[in-house]
Amino acid sequence: GAGVSQSPSNKVTEKGKDVELRCDPISGHTALYWYRQSLGQGLEFLIYFQGNSAPDKSGLPSDRFSAERTGGSVSTLTIQRTQQEDSAVYLCASSLAMGGNNQPQHFGDGTRLSIL
Amino acid sequence: DQQVKQNSPSLSVQEGRISILNCDYTNSMFDYFLWYKKYPAEGPTFLISISSIKDKNEDGRFTVFLNKSAKHLSLHIVPSQPGDSAVYFCAASASITSNYKLTFGKGTLLTVNP
């Protein structure tokens, strides 16, 4: 399909290891977002990319979290020195450029991250 | 501080009846509201949205109502079908501040019984 693609779908790792999560947005969508959903919670905004503009990193919970978007398409979310509280489902979304009009965000199926 | 609240964690309705899912918000800057539906092990799927310049938006069986004075919105599904059983999330954003950053409620699990 032509939806948002995320990999891996599941990741189990030991505390202290680094992990990389990948997101491939819908073709033509210039805006890309990362959220996470902890157990029993709503989605929590992490970071936003729009075209060549500087990303909005205001939702990243600590400096162990970083993200990049190369070539304006694929994005990678990296968590260094993982902690058990990082266990969550990490969701990526993309949307058309805002252009002053609200555009719905379309989500991938997420990466379920479990830190042992 | 939860800015978007879905106070009912679950709702059960009979097939064919109306499902009403509620959402309250506290941030008066919110001016764009969305409903998402989520099945287990899948990402949220966009259902319907409404801008604050409207008080109603309809799309097939789904209608969203917005009451700005009460800071309340609701999603009506009629008639409800068993395939509608899922978790429904309400989300909001504020275009004057950061119109891309969605704030989500914790979700309501809807079960439609055959």
Per DSSP, the residues of A11-69 read EEE-TT--EEEEEEPPTT--EEEEEEE-TT--EEEEEEEETTSPPB-TT--STTEEEEE
CB contacts of A41 in chain B (<8 Å) are: 106
**What confidence category does residue A7 fall into, taking pLDDT thresholds of 50, 70 and 90?**
very high
d(CA B65, CA A51): 33
What confidence score (pLDDT) does residue A86 get? 96
CA distance readout (Å), B25 to A77, B66, B111: 30, 11, 24
Structure tokens at B98: 């950061």
Place of tokens 């002053």: A100
Number of A–B residue contacts, CB under 8 Å: 59
What confidence score (pLDDT) does residue A99 get? 52
Distance of CA B94 to the CA centre of its chain: 16
d(CA A42, CA A20): 22
Residue A98 has pLDDT above 80, yes or no: no
Q: What's the rounded mean pLDDT across residues B86-92?
A: 96
Contact A25, A97 (CB under 8 A): no
**What confidence category does residue B95 fall into, taking pLDDT thresholds of 50, 70 and 90?**
confident
Place of tokens 């310049």: B53
Q: What's the rounded mean pLDDT across residues B77-87?
A: 97
Bond before A8 cis per omega within 30 degrees: yes
Select from B32, B42, B102 the Cβ nearest to the Cβ of A45: B102
Q: What's the rounded mean pLDDT across residues A24-37?
A: 93
Distance of CA A31 to the CA centre of its chain: 12
Select from B36, B44, B95 the Cβ nearest to the Cβ of A102: B95
Across chain B, mean pLDDT equals 94
